[in-house]
Amino acid sequence: MTPILVRRVPASTPRALRTDEVGRVASDFAAAAANADQAGFHGVELHAATQYLFEQFLNSQLNDRTDQYGGRTVADRIRFTLEVTDAVVEQIGASRVGIRFSPFSTVGNMPADDRTEETYQALADELADRELAYVHVHDTSGSADDDGSLWQRLHRLLRDMRARMAGTPFVLAGGMTLESANELVGSDVIDLAAFGQLYISNPDLVERLRTGTPLTPPDRTTYFGGDATGYTDYPAATASGA
């Protein structure tokens, strides 16, 4: 296998979207969903988390726009997310669209937002009528919070959003263990638990969790290396002799 060379290239200087450009971006997402449909994907997930474009609109401390997409009111902050959601749903149907959020995230130097609950409660009220396939939440509190207060706020918010979106499955990812997954599902904080990094280092993760086989920790130093190292070269427990 020939290694893929990965290198950084200079990026263009970012600028704020003009108001007349926002609709074009929503159309781009819809076109991407249509392409995914044609390629045979079962559905799409809108990545409205961890510093990406949606979250830049949703965060009232960062969003300093003065048009109808500005951060001054909750209706304006959530407008872009809802417009993109509607455009994508129109293309492939609500039952094939999920959306990912990361309330309270400060990933990528995102500022802490004291209006987080207000924003996501309003989103939940609006999304309830869209009947999406699921809501996927990324818990970043483990890296940003020492005393557990963000973890508690997130779980309170999850309960609130689930109540507002009755019938929509909620998935939580981020530092999940078998114990925490069982606890959160059992206490009705979430419907499903998602595992990311542990699936990289444990290709047979489900079987290991089922049998209590020790897990192999992922090696983050190998991430984004450009080849299979640290991604597809972890053996299953039976192959490694674990």
Listed by start position, the domains of the chain span: 26-194
What pLDDT is attached to residue 240?
52
* Residues 6+ away with beta carbon under 8 Å from 129: none
Predicted confidence (pLDDT) per residue in 185-233, tens digit: 999 999 999 999 999 999 999 999 999 999 999 998 998 887 888 889 9
Whole-number Å distance between alpha carbons of 242 and 238: 6
* Residues 6+ away with beta carbon under 8 Å from 8: none
Q: Is the pLDDT of residue 177 over 60?
A: yes
What pLDDT is attached to residue 227?
84
52 is catalytic: yes
Beta carbons of 33 and 91 less than 8 angstroms apart: yes
Count of alpha carbons within 13 Å of 58, Cβ hemisphere only? 30
Task: With 0.85 as the threshold, say if the pTM is over it.
Answer: yes
Which of 52, 199, 231, 234 is catalytic? The answer is 52
Q: Which CATH architecture has domain 26-194?
A: Alpha-Beta Barrel (3.20)
Q: 5 falls in which pLDDT band (50, 70, 90)?
A: low
